[in-house]
Structures are given as C-alpha cells and as structure tokens.
Chains A and B, each alone.
Chain A
Amino acid sequence: MTNSFAHFSQAKLFLVIGSNMTEAHPVAATFVKQAVKKGARLIVVDPRKTGIAEHATIHLPLRVGTDVALLNALMHVLIQEGLYDREYVERRTEGFEDLERKVREYPPERAAGICGIDAQTIREVARLLASVKPAMLIYTLGITEHTCGVNNVLSCANLQMLLGNVGFQCGGVNPLRGQNNVQGACDMGALPNVYPGYQRVDVPEIRKKFESFWGTSLPSRPGLTIPEMLDGLVDGTVRGFYVFGENLANTEPHIRHVERCLQAAEFLVCQDIFPTETTRFAHVVFPAAAWSETDGTFTNSERRVSRVRAASRPPGSAMPNWWIFKELARRFGHRWDSDSARDIWDREIRLLAPQLAGITYARLEHDGLQWPVPREDHPGTPYLHKDGLFVRGLGRFHAVDWTPPAESPDEEYPFVLSTGRRLYHYHTRTQTGRCGGLDELLPEETADISPADAQSLGIQDGDRVRVRSRRGEVVVRARVTSQVPRGLVWMAFHFRNGNANWLTNPVFDPVTKTAEYKACAVRIDKVSEDGGGVEAA
C-alpha cells in the first residue's frame, strides 16, 4: 500500500476494485464502512455483490477479467472531458502521450460491450472520480489473480496518477496483502530475483555487497518461481525441493497436476506445524514452532513492521524456523552467528536493506514502524511518493490493452468459475479448521450460483452439484445467492473436499507468474443425493 489504514476512516472517496474486503480484510473494511457512514462516497467494482458492495454509492458488477477495459474507458472519459489533473500529469509523470493514445481506443461504448457496464454509467463514475480529491484506490487479488494481473495493476496506477491522487494522505494505490506476512516475505527477499530490500541479484555491485556481508560467493542468475519449480520437478531440472509452511497441494491451481509434481520430487523436505496434504509427499518433515511460540516480526500491507511475541512453548521438540535453517547451514560448514530473531533483525536485516535501516527491535514496542525508515531517528513513512514526488523520479504511465482470460466459457463449459476466500476460514484451514466454533460457522465448501441460473438448471439451495472443468471435478452443495451474477460460479479453497483448485486453470501472468484463480470455464450439474462423494475424478 502506498498509504495507511489510518487514512481509510478519513477518506472522502474510495474506489474498491476486486477486493472482497469484508471477508478477506474485515477490520480494514470497518474503517471504509465507517467513512461511508460519515458521508464518504464508495465505488465498488466487483462481479459479485460483495459485503462491501452493499455499502457502495455505486456498484459496478463488471464481467470477470475485464478490469483493464473498464479502467481504460474511465481514463478515456477523464481525458476527453478534461477532468484529469493536468498539472500533476505535466509535472509529476511521464508517458502520458502513450496512455492517451491507448485509452482513446476505449470509448465507453466499446468498453461497455466488453465489461458489461453501460457507457453512461462509466461516464458518471469517471466524473464522480474526478469530483473529489484525493480518492483512495484499494485493490486485492481480484486485480492480480489473472493472466493480465500486471496490466490490471498498471491500470490502477495509471488511473490514480491521471487523477493526481498518488502521494497524498487518503489517496494512493493500496493493494491489501492476502496473508499476514506476504509483504514481509517479499521485503525479506524470498523471491527469485531480489535480495532483502528489493535489491536485484543480477546487479554486480549489489551482489558484491551481499557476498561480502555473508562471506561467500553468490549466484547471479535469477531463480525459478513456484510454478516453474513445480514443472522442474517433473522434467528433472529440480530434484531437491524444500517447502516451508505452504500447503501447495491445496493452494495451487489444478491440484492433480501439483500432486504429480510433488510426487516426482527426488527429495522433498517439508517444514510445517501440521501434517498437510503436501507433507504426504515429503521425505523428511521438520516440526516448526508456530505463531505465538516464537518472537519475531510481521510486516502488514501498509508496510508496518510489528512485533510478534511468544506466549507459549512449541510442542514436543518443534523448533523455531530460523533455528532449523541455521542448523542446516552449519552442516554445510557455514557458521551463522545470529542466535535469535532479534539478532537476525538487528545484526543482519537492517544492515542489508536500506528501507529498514532505522528499525531496531528496541524501536518496535507499541505500534511498530512503517518502512521506509532510513535512519534511527526517522519516524517512519505513512504514505509513499509524498506530494507526487515519486521515488523513481517521475511516475510512469503504462499504456496497456485489455486481454481476455485464458479460458472462456463455451458450450461444454458454459460458466465462469471465480474463486476467493470466505470470512470464517483461512486458506486450507490447517489453522482455522482446528479452532472451536469456526468450523461450525462454515462447515463445508459450496458452489455459489445466481438464482436465475439455479432456476434454469433446476437447482435448489443446498442441492448437491457437480462442478467440472477441463482439469477435474468436485461435488459440493449449491448456495443460491443474489450476490452472484448470472453465468458465474464462485468457490473458495478452504476445504480439501470441494476445493476449487481441483478445477482452476494453471495459466499465469507472464511477468509475475500469478495464476488465473479468478477465471476458468466450468459446467455445473445437479447430482442425485446418492451421486457419490468423489473428491476428484
């Protein structure tokens, strides 16, 4: 996020796009709802009438995967009607001409045909967006989990720069990060192309710095992403595979394919707190300490580094994860001095990542600090690009085109399946499935469909249905809800049985390798009560 959660309650206008906030980020949503109650305007862009859409001034139920078309059309209107922030664009950005040329190809009438929002509404929304400054744009995985995920993100940034909304309190481009420490794992360089602090592995001076700090030579070639690793297991380029805390066998698209990959691993190490569908394939399993059993830090979506503290001891001989890596390194002849999370932070991370240089454990009592914190006397950074002064100099527009999802509905698979998360569970339930009450609140997966489709298929709420894609099928109960528009089936991946990832399409954004969880083609049929409880065919 360029901005802070504290800005939500003071903002005057929100554009929430592809974010089921009330279920995936409930507390963040409370601040938006409060602001709306006090008179802020809220535009929600989402195929479903989500919880946050119920609070919206305007809800735009666009077709799945058409965000770029809609955003380009909004920008088309802003430019055509002279509603954009000329001064900001001239002084703070570059690449406007390319953008202008591109969005000229997206008059609202054309976009309407793609995204299903009528041209007049697109015009009105553009005018509304231009009427309040600054406006906050909030997005989540509805934007990124597409083959065009990067283009979606760029379009969001284009729009906010065109409106002159980046660099101010209550403005900015604000992706809500899905998992508690996905921001932190990126910051720490658990990525194939960058070291801690987003410093590129293929830049010689940077590599030299890390080589001298770690006292060893380092590889220069960027590594593989998860989907490439999985494929590598099958074709033999990857032989040893180390999975720390991820339940890949349920979370990745196309479960059958993923399981074939895991099965093929010559040597698989899993490090986790529970046996999972993934540890079944392991050769060695390390038992790890969980949240509240170790001291450490998490970094949230607004770049806030906060303390995590131990309250109880890990069970049996389970050990902190950092200790396990240190012990392994020792067996390769590497002596690592740091002997606690605090050591690792204070004596390594902050010396390597310039954005974190001013953060010490001693400064993290109370509310933590938002990076960048370049020095120890720096108070932290609640919002980035202050006054439109971009870190890279000028904010760059990227002209992008709309591209459809990789798989479109056809006669055989006439529905679009889109997936996401539900309020009462977290991911594959390894944690929430073991907490009293949460399973009672949401005991099983469902396939959510519209009343209109339910009627034409003869399906009643609670009926068992078979949802099938080119990759697999599941049998779950139907949940008939007006949240879902015609032509859409919506599911989550919290349960092994009925997990949407038996169906999802393993096609990826070419740059980020994010999978298209939000769109694939399926068919849905009613099954008789004794239709068998197959989890996958």
Chain B
Amino acid sequence: MNGTFRLNGRQVAFEPGQTILDAAISLQVQIPTLCHLAGTTPTGTCGVCVVEVKGLQETQPACATPIREGMEVWTDTPKVRLDRQAAIRRLLLSGHHNCFVNDLDVDRWTDFQLETLRRPWHGTLCPSYGDCRLQDLAVAYGVRTQGHVPRPPAHIPLDDQHPMFVRDFSRCIGCGRCVKACNEVQVQGALAAAVPETGGGKGKTWFPAADYDKCVHCGECVQACPVGALFEKKSYGKAWPYETERIRTTCPYCGVGCQQWLHVKEGRIVRVTGVDGAQPNQGRLCVKGRFGYEFIYSEERLKTPLIRNGTGFREASWDEALDLVAGRFQEILRAHGPDAVAGVSCARSINEDSYQMQKFFRAVIGTNNIDHCART
C-alpha cells in the first residue's frame, strides 16, 4: 500500500519503508550525499544529506529518515544549505585536507601545510585532488574555512603495510563507506564498524582499520572512499585524476567479465576501477581485475618475431617470419595433407581473434583440427 507525501511542494507517492533519500532518488530530486553508499544500509554520519521536515526544529538526514504519510519535505532551503555548509566545514577541518578548498588564514595555512607534509605519503597534495567528493561539495556549497582552526586528531594511525594500498586516516572523515563496501558489498567482514554505527564522524576516535586475515585485497574499500584516506600504492604519484582519460573495457581474467574503467594517462594505464551500475559487476572488482594490469608494460614482452636459431632465437621481420611459417605449412600440406596441421586458439583473447584462427585453419589450411582449452 503506497502513501503520499510532499516533496518540495509536490504531492508524490512513496513505498512503505522508503527513506526520504530513496524517494528523492527515484523521483530524480537531487539531494547531495557523502557517506551514503548505493545498495547498502545508511550510516548517517556525514550530515550532508540533511533536509527540512515541516514541524521539526532540526534538519533531518534524508538517508536515515523514513517517510511518513503526509510528511512535508524541503530539500533546498537556506537552513538546509547552512547546515550542509557546517557539516562540510566540520569534515574539512577534521583532518589533513590540504587542498585549495581549505582556505585557512595565511599563517595558519602554512603551519598546516608543513605539519601535513611531514607525514609519510604526504610528499605532495592529497592524492585524491580533483576526484574527491568532499572537495566537490565544498566548492558546490561555497564552504570557507577562514577564521577556523583545523583539528586533525592527535594520534592518527597510518597503515601502509599492505602491498596494494595505503590507509591514511589523517584524511579519514569517518563516513563508513569503506566498511559498508567490505561488509555489505564484498561481504568480507574485514573492516570493523564504528561503535555505535552512527556518530562515527562526530568527535571520532574511530578508524576503519583492516583485519588482513579476512581481507581479500579486492580494493572495494578504496573505490568506496570518497576522499584521499584510502589510495592505491601503485597509482600514487602517477597522475592527477584530471590528467587521465577513462576508457571502458572488460576484465581480462575470469569468466565473470567485469566492466572496468581504465584510467589512462598518455597511453598508460595508471589505475583501474569498476564501472558503477554496469552489468554484470555493478561497480565491483576483485584483486586481479583491479590490480592485475601492468603485465602489459613488462620489459619481458615479446616485441618482435623470432625464428629458431640452434638452441636460441634470432629476431626477424614480420615478412620473413610470416613467409617462413606459410612456406613450412605448405610443405607439410603437400607431403602429409591438411590434417597434419593442428592449432590451439586462445580463450583469453578477443572473439575476433578466435574467429580468424578457426577460419584460417578451416578455409586456408583445410582442416578442422582447431581447438582451445574449453576444458580448463
């Protein structure tokens, strides 16, 4: 049984159990979010999605407020904007967010920068510079920090023991998205939720430390982190997000066929992420899909045709190598017939390559001796 409520003055229907945010998303009314991770239960920590509800003094988090019959909700009022600004400012001041949006007074800015740059993995600007949800929101809401004092916590753990990523909690805003990604999306349970669940961001001493016995290094947490707290070691310092172009492709490993974004700078992949909302993976990747890309840049790649020369090989031109293969196969065909030639195609390569190879064997050599490892 569906009821109705008013959203920005419009009478609209809702389904029982829907939150204000759920309804707004399905009605395509924009409410900004930060800690919300699609498809997971809300944490309600960031205070960015607040809206006004008629009859209530305080603004309410849209992600955690269920709709009631007849409710009247306003998503963009001066009070809402002020509260969002305050929430964003609190987060900006809560850690080492040393990018341009933190427009502290000049002296304080210098001290803050110096303190920040002393930490490991802080040799430069925040690695998420240009691809940070907090930065975007600060710009969108015109948040200023002038006249305020940044208050990074006194003891900030930094975990860089892991081969794949760094957990730099000096920029953690306690949003809990990484926890949701690990526990509810990957269902791996390697990250401990803040206790209590809500309030992780407020007055926080909580950091989402990883239990590496349970971690499968999928990097879903890194992809979910909206700021520069979790980042990949391999990509660190390789490119700023705004320098890369994104190319969509399909993972080269298993038969799930996950959709990936290749982040490419000057013809080189610097990072791989899952394509949100795409079939079949809905943004997810595993450790191989996310981190298994640089083999293509290995110095050991075969770069030129090779022809056997005693016990070793010598380099050859394409013409020479192709002529040799064609010539030798023709000799074998003449002497022993087409069924004396056989080929194995590749289950890793593209469809078009397998098509060409079976066509070559059938239409050119004249044999059906073509197979691939369909069986392994």
Contacts and interface: CB of A to CB of B under 8 A. Distances in A.
Chain B, interface SS category: mixed
B374 A182 contact: yes
B373 A304 contact: no
Given A192-B368, A326-B356, A434 B342 contact: no
Contacts of A512: 374-375
Contacts of B325: 269, 284, 328
B273 to A, nearest CB: 13
A435 B295 contact: yes
A514 B362 CA distance: 23
Interface in B159-208: 163-164, 184-187
B355 A349 contact: yes
Interface in B290-335: 291-296, 298, 300-308, 313, 318, 321-326, 328-330, 332
Contact of A223 (B252, B370, B376): B370
Contacts of B257: 180, 298-302, 304, 306
The range of chain A's interface size is 35 or more
B286 A242 contact: no
Interface stretch (A102-110, A155-163, A289-297): A289-297
B254 to A, nearest CB: 5
Contacts of B124: none
Interface residues of B, number: 106
Given A189-B358, A311-B267, A24 B254 contact: yes
Contact of B288 (A185, A307, A432): A432
Nearest to A343: B352
A184 B256 contact: no
B304 to A, nearest CB: 5
Interface string B325-363: 110111010001011111111111111111111111111
Interface stretch (B105-113, B143-151, B243-251): B243-251
Contacts of B353: 244, 296, 320-322, 325, 341
A177 B356 contact: no
Contacts of A5: 256, 279-281
A218 B362 contact: yes
Interface string A310-329: 11110111111110111111
B255 A348 contact: no
A27 B274 CA distance: 11
Given A6-B279, A196-B355, A180 B301 contact: no
Interface stretch (A245-253, A408-416, A451-459): A245-253
Nearest to A281: B308
Nearest to A296: B350
Interface string A18-46: 00001011111010011011000000000
Contacts of B267: 311-313
A274 B301 contact: yes
Contacts of B292: 426, 431-432, 435, 438
A329 B360 contact: yes
B280 A6 contact: yes
Contacts of A318: 301-304
Contacts of A336: 359
B90 interface: no
Interface stretch (A78-86, A225-233, A398-406, A460-468): A225-233
B342 A241 contact: yes
A243 to B, nearest CB: 5
A266 B269 contact: no
B308 A181 contact: no
Contacts of A325: 353, 356-357, 359-360
Interface stretch (B25-33, B67-75, B92-100, B258-266): B258-266
Contact of A191 (B281, B349, B372): B372
B374 A185 contact: yes
A510 interface: no
B163 to A, nearest CB: 4
A219 B368 contact: yes
- 9 closest Cβ pairs, A-B complex: A316-B303, A300-B257, A245-B346, A296-B350, A177-B255, A223-B368, A26-B286, A33-B187, A287-B302
Given A241-B343, A292-B252, A426-B253, 14 more contacts: A26-B216, A26-B256, A30-B185, A186-B374, A189-B370, A201-B362, A210-B362, A273-B302, A292-B269, A316-B301, A321-B353, A426-B254, A434-B298, A434-B300
10 contacts: A179-B347, A182-B255, A185-B354, A243-B343, A244-B344, A307-B250, A349-B355, A426-B254, A438-B291, A441-B163
